[in-house]
A = this chain, B = another copy of it.
Amino acid sequence: MINFLNDYSVGAAPEVLDDIVGLSGESFLPYGGDRLCQEAKKLIAFDVERDDIDIHFLTGGTQANLTVISSVLRGHEAVLASEWGHIATHETGAVEATGHKVVTVPHHNGKVIVEDIKKALSFNTGEHMVKIKLIYISQTTEWGTVYTKNELEELSEFAHENGLWLYIDGARLGSALTASDCDFTMRDIAEYADIFTIGGTKNGALFGEAVVITRQELKADFRYYIKQKGGLLAKGWLLGSQFISLFRDGLFYRLAEHGNAQAAKIREAMMREGIPLASASRSNQLFPILPLSLVVELSQDFLFEIVDKVREDRAVVRFVCSWATDDTSVVLLESALAKYNFVEGEV
């Protein structure tokens, strides 16, 4: 089977694994107190162009989200997310399990817009309702789109003017930073977000998410939350090592760029065939709307996800490319699409 199911099917980029193997037999201080974690933090801080930030390493995205959100909020405070926000749909109520409501707003190409936050704030007034305190956005979004620099600035300014914090879930931040329509830098992310993550799991690491805290008020005692929520890895140097591999010489960006580039080729093929796309994504995820007969046909050779049925005979499906997507896979998918005999009006 040719794999377009997700960006975490294949192990790790060779450099990442080689570095771990190279450390075989060495001993380290536990729980991230080792020298590798310190070095990895310096490398990330260099890219962020800030030395006044705190950085922590966790193993997974849901873990990072629930740890961050529960550390930021008081008991009566809520986080606002898009109705498609990962925390709102695909984390088994992890945020609610820490006691906090996720207030949802409609999405616009996967994005949260200020207008909707305003409405939510004006609806949630007084102590009979939760107090919205944190804005959660994903970059790239769950629909593969990226917020522009202007959009990030607008959200950040609005948040801060209204006593809110902005959290950017960067599980696919590599893809965002290297998307063809990206107009911002890692430094911008750190400027606009009060806290954000840099995803390794979906971009060449075996596992690992870096949490970057830029806002002074949010730094205190974060390690207590990591431990309490079960995220403090005994052999934390494993995370340090992987983030060194990713940030030592730009591997993080090259890996993401490759995934985006492979997706771009498939996107062009889809447009050639006149296949409509449910999302304007220019990153590593594509969301074509396909006739069900094609979905069935493709599923014999390819792994991918069915997101939603849109009509009786159509479905939105998701194809994901990654650092590990080779040209052969892309070509095979392109030719499968080309081979399919689209009935008139079908696309």
- Which A residues are closer than 8 A to B by beta carbons? 3, 5-6, 8-12, 14, 17, 20-21, 23-30, 59-67, 70-71, 74-76, 78, 89-94, 96-102, 127-131, 201-202, 206-207, 221, 223-235, 238, 324
Contact = CB atoms under 8 A, between A and B. Distances in A.
Given A101-B102, A127-B221, 12 more contacts: A3-B27, A9-B27, A10-B26, A11-B23, A60-B230, A70-B75, A75-B98, A92-B129, A93-B100, A94-B228, A96-B96, A128-B232
Contact of A228 (B5, B14, B76): B76
A96 B99 contact: yes
Contacts of A21: 17, 21
A86 B63 CA distance: 21
A60 B232 CA distance: 8
Contacts of A227: 62, 91-92, 94, 127-128
20 contacts: A9-B29, A11-B23, A21-B21, A59-B233, A61-B234, A66-B230, A75-B97, A75-B98, A76-B92, A76-B97, A76-B225, A94-B227, A94-B229, A96-B96, A97-B99, A99-B99, A128-B227, A128-B232, A201-B235, A207-B238
Nearest to A34: B9
A99 B94 CA distance: 9
Nearest to A1: B27
Nearest to A222: B127
Contacts of A129: 89-90, 92
Contacts of A100: 93, 96-97
A287 B235 CA distance: 23
B9 A28 contact: yes
Nearest to A70: B75
Contacts of A62: 227, 230, 232
A248 to B, nearest CB: 19
A303 B62 CA distance: 34
